[in-house]
Amino acid sequence: MSEEIINKVAQSQLLTLNLEEYFPKEEIVVFDLKPFLFMELILKEKDFREALQNTNWQHYQDKIVAVTCSADAIIPVWAYMLIATYLEPYAKDIIMGNEKKAAEQILLKNIQQINIEGYTDKRVVVKGCSDLPIGEVAYMEITKRLRPLVKSIMYGEPCSTVPVYKRK
């Protein structure tokens, strides 16, 4: 009694969307203001400007730069603007925050650039298992973008999904 094994997952016409494909592939480096502060606490304008002028900005060439201050110090807004003027000719992108925040913002930017027209009236599975730190915000963003177009959204793997949305 040999019965043919039927792959129902392959026949289901589900489209799988893997958010790992949109995770930043570029190196993310942190620019911390703390070493540029007097006693790592106070920003002295003259010293700060001089230190920025003496920084090797080529180190940031084609990288995503997360600008942060790990010291509990009050940093004037113009200081971040000044850093951006030095980084802009070199960095691929400049993000305010730590490395995790930078990765999240680039991921969201990449999700915004997905051509979602190909998902119109389709059943979509947003892949759940990931080797990369895909945060909840990315799953919310792709759901917001897909919901107006798709028949359904599921989370997980095609063989084991959690229903999220189904058009009525």
SS3 assignment for the chain: CCCCCCCHHHHCCEEEECHHHHCCCCCEEEEECHHHCECCCECCHHHHHHHHHCCCHHHHCCCEEEEECCCCCCCCHHHHHHHHHHHCCCCCEEEECCHHHHHHHHHHHHHHCCCHHHHCCCEEEEECCCCCCCCHHHHHHHHHHHCCCCCEEEEEECCEEEEEEECC
pLDDT at 159 over 90: no
Q: Give the per-residue pLDDT at 160.
A: 85
Q: Give the per-residue pLDDT at 146.
A: 97
Question: Across residues 72-96, what is the average pLDDT?
Answer: 96
Structure tokens at 122: 């389709």
Q: How confident is the model at residue 2 (pLDDT cuts 50, 70, 90)?
A: low
pLDDT at 126 over 90: yes
Q: How confident is the model at residue 7 (pLDDT cuts 50, 70, 90)?
A: very low
pLDDT at 121 over 50: yes
What is the C-alpha to C-alpha distance for residues 123 and 13, in angstroms, rounded to an integer? Answer: 7
Average pLDDT, the chain: 91
Q: Give the per-residue pLDDT at 57.
A: 97
Q: What angle do CA 31, 132, 138 make, to 5 degrees?
A: 85
pLDDT at 120 over 60: yes
CB 158 within 8 A of CB 9: yes
pLDDT at 10 over 60: no
